[in-house]
A and B are shown apart, each in its own frame.
Chain A
Amino acid sequence: MDLNQLNSAFTLFLSLLVEAFPFLILGVVFSGLLLFFVDERKLIKLMPKHPLLGAFAGSCVGFLFPVCECGNVPVARRLLMQGAPAPVAIGFLLAAPTINPIVFWSTWVAFRDQPEIVFLRVGLSLVIATIIGWVFSAQADLRPLLQPTVARAIPTRSEERGSRGQAEVSPLLQSGTFLLGQTGQPLRMDTTELQASMVAAATFNKPLPDRLYLLLENTVQELRELGGVLILGSAIAALIQAFVPRELILGLGQGPITSILAMMLLAALVSICSTVDAFFALSFASVFTSGSLLAFLVFGPMIDLKGVGLMLSIFKTRAVIYLFALAAQLTFLSTLFLNLHVS
């Protein structure tokens, strides 16, 4: 390791941060604003009943909620709790971090020279999220797959199922307390809870100064959290670029299969926010196959370490594993097809 290498790693790291920060702020502020002004109950009423159409519509709702993968989980949870059909909620959960204008724009900024990456990213995410949402419609009652807290909050039509959900309540889960805004208790350290408490109940009725205060609080908190993740992600990208031997990266990055697997693994580990992950991928653009870049851009926003943690606040482990397996397979197969037959 020498000084030049270190300096170029640091320059690379800074450049990723400087380029990504504005998009991060935009995403955080925009999603905060929309959470205040879009009433998802009305939205759910508009959703089609057909499972496939529902999954597709749910996936497209991301355009209204430009959240990245930290904001989509609380929103998906509220959608479920307010009676959205499973395909709609799952379509939204998986697609929203990618199918949104800010992510589209930041991907465009990063991959101006390869517009096909931008459109394929949106297209593939839409298709995969819709398929998975559709698959989940086979489970007519989603409640056995949900955490008891969420399951019990879903409007019930048959009481016997509700009582089954009740039996599974763990004493560790303080079901629904945060929804009542009881923040005096020792809080679980969880972004989700603030967001949920922020919008779940009475935000629409609160006086403007309170709402603005909550918006600011939400913005600061997300900036801090996502900023931290962004810094770690950028540092990883910079270190890999500067210190991993080029032959290794070339060897890994140009095999049609290895490149996809490597980028999917990276996506899951790095957990970088979808509004800025395009810049991360960009630093691999010259050596990795297009398919593998797409795998990173499509898979990362759906499933990553940070997201899995948040998803466990909605789903039981089993369901998260299903989601993970489906998303991974579909991403792998579709990008492999692109690698072998298109580019």
Chain B
Amino acid sequence: MSAESSSARRRRRSERWAISWLPWLDVIAITAWGVLLLKYWITGRLNLLIHPNYTWLAIAGGVSLLLIGGSKALTLLPQLFPRRNGAVPAQSVQHLSLFPPGWSSTLLLVTAILGFLIIPRAFVSQTALQRGVTDTLTMTRAHPQAFRTSIDSASRSLIEWVRTLNVYPEPDAYTGQKVKVQGFVIHAPDLPEQYFLLSRFVITCCAADAYPVGLPVKLKESRKDYPPDTWLEIEGQMITAELAGKRQLTIQPRSIKQIPEPKNPYDY
């Protein structure tokens, strides 16, 4: 019987422990997310995750989380001094609906810690293939945002080329135009050996909707010298090539220069 009562006492003690510490877990989890959001902003990683239009939202979110975490911590402080326990409203008991006590905050905290440890990277060619750059060389969903024809063709970015092509898809119309674009290499399995795709990811909201666009590049030799995911700046002119039964606008390079991955690898 005494064993029973001691186990009951132990259980009560551990419940009390949980009640006094679980709110602190909330504080830590919420604050950690606030710090993580601000860290992404300060280190420039937000660009890899969301469209720059929404940077301010992430910053405001980070600051609010810090404020909420901080205020919650302030209300918990009196609990650290048991004599003044009476001042704390009884509602600091856990109320949970979906997860057992503490799970949800632990989940939040663990993801925040993973966020601190694992550095997000820009998407690479494998993701592009997974998302289907080979299915459609033109845009898959966005409507053209900018359409400029009067400018010098060499100043068009890769995205602007694809947009232009999307509006007026006849490849011959562009034959001979000068081109100078940057992007990364994708070895599409259905292209012949001397071709690779020069690509960029476009995002409209966040990395979840990033989709790749690209133009084929025709080499004289095999594409082996340009491994996937290498960032290149290619200058040359446009030609029309017959690829997989389709006539496609293709870049014939004059110079191919390897460049470092841009700080902001996406386009908009």
Report yes or no: A279 in contact with B206, Cβ–Cβ below 8 A.
yes
Tell whether B21 is near chain A: CB-to-CB under 8 Å.
no
- Give the nearest-CB partner of B140 in chain A: A286
Interface centre among A4, A5, A220 (most CB of B within 10 A): A220
**Given A11-B120, A19-B50, A25-B65: A223 and B208 within 8 A (CB)?**
no
**Complex: how many Å from CA A191 to CA B91?**
12
CB distance from A187 to the nearest CB of B (A): 6
Report yes or no: A189 in contact with B95, Cβ–Cβ below 8 A.
yes
- Taking residues whose C-beta sits less than 8 angstroms from the other chain, chain B's interface range is 35 or more
Interface centre among A8, A191, A217 (most CB of B within 10 A): A8
On chain B, the residues within 8 Å of A237 by CB distance are 208
Tell whether B249 is near chain A: CB-to-CB under 8 Å.
no
On chain B, the residues within 8 Å of A70 by CB distance are 97
Tell whether B171 is near chain A: CB-to-CB under 8 Å.
no
Report yes or no: B126 in contact with A10, Cβ–Cβ below 8 A.
no
Tell whether A155 is near chain B: CB-to-CB under 8 Å.
no
On chain A, the residues within 8 Å of B99 by CB distance are 225, 228
Report yes or no: A110 in contact with B205, Cβ–Cβ below 8 A.
yes
Report yes or no: B93 in contact with A16, Cβ–Cβ below 8 A.
no
On chain B, the residues within 8 Å of A111 by CB distance are 205
Report yes or no: B97 in contact with A113, Cβ–Cβ below 8 A.
no
Tell whether A159 is near chain B: CB-to-CB under 8 Å.
no
CB distance from B199 to the nearest CB of A (A): 14
Tell whether A219 is near chain B: CB-to-CB under 8 Å.
yes
On chain A, the residues within 8 Å of B120 by CB distance are 7, 10-11, 14-15
On chain B, the residues within 8 Å of A29 by CB distance are 64
CB distance from A85 to the nearest CB of B (A): 28
Tell whether A183 is near chain B: CB-to-CB under 8 Å.
yes
**Complex: how many Å from CA A232 to CA B98?**
12
- Give the nearest-CB partner of B29 in chain A: A224
Report yes or no: A22 in contact with B57, Cβ–Cβ below 8 A.
yes
Report yes or no: B72 in contact with A220, Cβ–Cβ below 8 A.
yes
**Complex: how many Å from CA A4 to CA B184?**
15
**Complex: how many Å from CA A5 to CA B96?**
34
Pick out which of these stretches binds chain B: A59-67, A124-132, A208-216, A316-324: A208-216
CB distance from B7 to the nearest CB of A (A): 19
- Give the nearest-CB partner of B120 in chain A: A11
Which of B30, B90, B107 interacts with A183 by CB under 8 Å?
A: B90
**Complex: how many Å from CA A327 to CA B90?**
39
**Complex: how many Å from CA A241 to CA B123?**
13
**Complex: how many Å from CA A193 to CA B91?**
11
Report yes or no: B97 in contact with A231, Cβ–Cβ below 8 A.
no
On chain A, the residues within 8 Å of B75 by CB distance are 213, 216
Interface residues of A in 173-232 (CB under 8 A from B): 183-184, 187, 189-194, 197, 210, 213-214, 216-217, 219-221, 223-225, 227-229, 231-232
Tell whether B20 is near chain A: CB-to-CB under 8 Å.
no
Tell whether B192 is near chain A: CB-to-CB under 8 Å.
no
Tell whether B185 is near chain A: CB-to-CB under 8 Å.
no
Give the top 10 A-B pairs by smallest Cβ distance, nearest first. A228-B104, A22-B61, A15-B207, A283-B208, A15-B49, A19-B206, A15-B206, A22-B57, A11-B120, A189-B96
**15 pairs, CB–CB < 8 Å, chain A vs chain B:** A15-B50, A15-B206, A16-B207, A22-B58, A22-B61, A189-B95, A189-B101, A216-B75, A219-B68, A221-B95, A223-B65, A242-B127, A246-B132, A279-B208, A286-B140
Q: In the complex, given contacts A10-B114, A113-B142, what are 16 additional A-B residue pairs having Cβ atoms less than 8 angstroms apart?
A: A5-B130, A7-B121, A10-B120, A11-B123, A12-B208, A25-B68, A192-B97, A220-B23, A225-B98, A227-B104, A227-B108, A228-B103, A229-B104, A246-B132, A286-B131, A286-B141
